[in-house]
Amino acid sequence: MTRSTSAVVGVGLAVWMFGPVLLGSNASGVELGQTPVTQPGELPACVSAHTFDSRFWGGWQTLRSDAWLTGCRNSAGQLRAASGPTCRATSFLGPGSATCTASPAGDGLKVVVQLDYPFGLDLIAGQPLKTAFTVSRSGGWTAVAP
């Protein structure tokens, strides 16, 4: 390899290895909700899920992604999308793009989220850019393979 090729490979490797550190600490979570039930043992009529993942330095947010979904049971007892899914990706360099889709998964719903951050931030973020989760008709949440 030539000297300049070695330098480019070296810089690329350093960015790949240390990029997640440069973007800061990671925080993620899930917020679940459901309509109140009136009878013991009854399933909620509707459930909601909000997933989020962010990177930050102190109070400064470098990356963030969110996905929201509300599903309600149909007459067969299966959960179907009532609102959403809706998703977004933001970064300190501007908005990214996010697409999300919901599809039936047994009696629940599967949501697949695809993220793209601007200016190559997605390449050094150290986070999966395609994620998926399921929401059950009882209000449970599970991360699954996209």
| 11: phi then psi, degrees, rounded to nearest 5 | -65, -45
Looking up tokens 């047994």, which residue turns up?
Answer: 106
Structure tokens at 106: 């047994």
In the predicted model, is pLDDT for residue 33 greater than 80? Answer: yes
Distance CA 101, CA 113 (A): 7
Task: Report the domain count for the chain.
Answer: 1
Q: What is the DSSP string of 42-73?
A: PPPSEEEEEEEEEEEETTEEEEEEEEEEEEEE
- For residue 3, the SS3 value is helix
* Boundaries of domain holding 55: 3-144
User: For the segment 71-113, what is each residue's pLDDT rounded down to a tens digit?
Assistant: 999 989 899 999 999 999 999 999 999 999 999 999 999 999 9
Q: What is the pTM of this model?
A: 0.79
